[in-house]
Amino acid sequence: MNRNDFLVALFGRPVWFHCKQCHRVMAGGTEESFPDMWQEEAVAMEAWRVRPEDLWWFDTVCVSCQEQQRS
């Protein structure tokens, strides 16, 4: 996928989110497009055809991990 196809960009780079607990990632702007938006990093990188150094990373905690903390 071309960088210009990403919905969210910061200074010309796509924005991706990284869960600090489960270490899965999500491409910015995909939360409405895919039912299971959080994926293993290697799988997501290959699917989107990007390298980690091509992206802006934001550390967060995904919804699944937040729900596990509350239980």
- Picking from 12, 11, 50, the residue whose alpha carbon sits closest to that of residue 27 is 50
Task: Give pTM, 2 decimals.
Answer: 0.75
Residues 6+ away with beta carbon under 8 Å from 67:
none
> Is residue 6 pLDDT above 80, yes or no?
no
Angle (CA) 57 52 54, round 5°: 85
Residue 5: DSSP 8-state: G
Q: Strands 39-40 and 24-27, how do they pair?
A: antiparallel
Could you report the per-residue pLDDT of 50-71, keeping only the tens digit for each?
A: 999 999 999 999 988 998 888 7
- Picking from 64, 12, 65, 18, the residue whose alpha carbon sits closest to that of residue 27 is 18
